[in-house]
Each structure stands twice: as C-alpha cells, then as structure tokens.
Amino acid sequence: MENKTNLLIRSKTVDSDSRRRFLRYAGFSAATATTILAACENAAMEPSTLGEGTGARVAADGSIDLGSGDVGILNYAYALEQLEYAFYAQVIATPFAGMSNMERMILTDIRDHEKAHRDFFRAALGAAAIPALSANFGAINFNDRASVLSTARTFEDLGVSAYNGAGKLLSSPLNLSTAGKIVSVEARHAAIIRELLAPFTTSFAGDDVVTSDTGLDVVNMPGTVLAAAQPFVVQTITANNLPTM
C-alpha cells in the first residue's frame, strides 16, 4: 500500500484532463489507472510532503471517495474549493441585477482566491486528487442578489467550519499549516459577504456563527459539511475512509 500511495502521488504531472479521459475509457478505478500512468511519469513532489493516506477512488457507479488519511482530508478541502470556485465563476459570468462596482470587485477577488486554492490543492494532490466535480446550482437564482449572497455566506461559513473541524484529523504539521493559511482567508470572505448582506451590524462575526459566551467560531466535521455541500454537486461524494475522531 505504501508503494502504491507513493506512486499515486508521484504521478502529479499527468494532465488531469487526459487522466479523466483515460479513466472513462478504461473504466478503471482512479487508483488502478493512475498507478499505471504513474509508472511512466517523473516524480514531481516528494510524497512525504502530502502526509499519510491513499488517494481518491471513483467507484463503478461514478461516486467519488475522497480517500484516507491526510490525503483524504486534502481531497475534502479540494472538493469544497472546487465548489466555491465554480460558484463565484458563475456569479461573475452572470452578474446579479444591480451588482455594484464594489460588489463586483469583492466577488471577483473571492473568485480568484478560490481558484488559487482549488488549483493549489489539485497540484499538491497530483494523481491522488479527486476528479473535477460538476456543480449543480439549479437552486440558486444568479440574477438575484439575495440568492447569490446568501449562498455565498453559506459556502464561506461552511468552509470555515470545515477547516476548523478538519484540523484535528490531519497528522502532518505541514498540512495543518496549509489549512491554517486558507481557513483565515475563508473567514475573511465570510465576514465581508455578511457585511454586504447586513452592513454595520454584528453579522460579520455574528452570534449565529461565533458562540457568544466562548467567542469560538463555527466548527463542523466532514459528515455534516459534505451533507450540506452534496446538493450542489452532481457526483456523489463519499467519505468512507476519512479519519474520524
């Protein structure tokens, strides 16, 4: 298993689109296929930097398992970042009615941040990464400011809660450090989106997310987060092998 993991991680340089096409034709599980592909590829990132765990697996029914150990948690983060980026890309592509210049600037910034997060995870995970997810935003009215911003608030608070909960599931300090660099940016997003929805109130760090008597922010474990995210993703995501407490 150790060798297999290493191979998976070393195949980082495989172009993800060609890998997906290959997978589709070959009908292999991601792990099997990428191991084969990996044999032909040069090492791109030392496996030890990713931490323990095995990569994503695509089941015969198309459902995507995030993998195990730290790698699984990084895939969990990668899934959420994919979802966030897809959302903001759509927000900017089809701006809601009456979007102000300031709102456009803020939402464009956030889109770019989420793209940086998404592409970072894809690069770091290499062949251990889950495939590209397809978004299902049918429930969102992208022409309506309230619909867009309240969805943004949901995604950002969900992201904060996810990283806050995932910290204790990571075994590598490097991964913990990476999660820390990203979660505070998600928290900044959450505060600013909340400010757009409820200016000059306490909402940026409201009592609905920051527990009033402890001053602690929202926290959720992967099961809760994925259940909230799943309606926005076409593929079924499973977390059967993620670490638990």
Partner 1 sequence: MNLQNLFNALENVDPEIYDRVKHVSRRQLFSFGKKAALVAAPLAVASSINKAYGQSMPDRTVEVLKFALVLEYLEDEFYRLGLNTPGLIPAQDRPIFAQISKHEASHVALLRTALGAAADPKPNFDFTAKGAFPTVFSNYQTFTALAQAFEDTGVRAYKGQVANIGQDPVLETALRIHSVEARHAARVRVLRGMKGWISGMEGFPGAVYAGEQATREREVDVPGISGVSAMGVTEAFDEPLTKDQVLAIALQFVR
Nearer to partner 1, 34 or 203 (CB): 203
Question: Per this entry, what is the length of the chain?
Answer: 245
From candidates 27, 100, 134, 180, binder to partner 1 by CB under 8 A: 180
Q: Tell me the sheet residues that pair with 238.
A: 65
Q: How far is the CB of 74 from partner 1 (least distance, A)?
A: 11
Question: What's CA 93's distance to the chain center, in Å?
Answer: 21
Q: How many residues bind partner 1 (CB under 8 A)?
A: 57
Is residue 183 at the binding interface for partner 1, with CB under 8 A as the rule? yes
Is residue 132 at the binding interface for partner 1, with CB under 8 A as the rule? no
Q: How far is the CB of 160 from partner 1 (least distance, A)?
A: 5
Is residue 178 at the binding interface for partner 1, with CB under 8 A as the rule? yes
Q: How far is the CB of 46 from partner 1 (least distance, A)?
A: 9
Is residue 182 at the binding interface for partner 1, with CB under 8 A as the rule? yes
Q: How far is the CB of 161 from partner 1 (least distance, A)?
A: 9
Classify each residue of 86-118 as buried b or exposed e, where b means 16 or more C-beta atoms within 10 Å of its C-beta. Answer: bbbebbeeebbeeeeeebeebbeebbebbbebb
Query: Using alpha carbons only, what angle is made at residue 38 by residues 37 and 39, rounded to the nearest 5 degrees?
Result: 90
Longest dimension (CA), the chain: 57
**What does the per-residue mask of binding to partner 1 show for 11-40, with x meaning CB under 8 A?**
------------------------------
From candidates 22, 28, 120, 137, binder to partner 1 by CB under 8 A: 120
* CB atoms near residue 81 (< 10 Å): 23
Nearer to partner 1, 30 or 182 (CB): 182
Amino acid at 3: N
Q: Report the alpha-carbon distance of residue 203 to residue 190 in Å, rounded.
A: 10
Nearer to partner 1, 197 or 219 (CB): 219
Contact 187, 217 (CB under 8 A): yes
What residues numbered 44-103 form the site for partner 1, per CB under 8 A? 45, 49
From candidates 219, 224, 230, 238, binder to partner 1 by CB under 8 A: 219
Report the phi/psi class of residue 170: left, alpha or beta, with left for phi > 0 and alpha for psi in -120 to 50: beta
Q: Report the alpha-carbon distance of residue 162 to residue 125 in Å, rounded.
A: 19
Nearer to partner 1, 120 or 142 (CB): 120
Q: Report the alpha-carbon distance of residue 234 to residue 83 in Å, rounded.
A: 11
Is residue 208 at the binding interface for partner 1, with CB under 8 A as the rule? no
Structure tokens at 212: 């009033």
Residues in touch with partner 1 (CB under 8 A): 45, 49, 106, 109, 112-120, 122-124, 160, 163-165, 167-168, 171, 173-174, 176-178, 180-192, 195, 200-202, 204-206, 210, 212-219
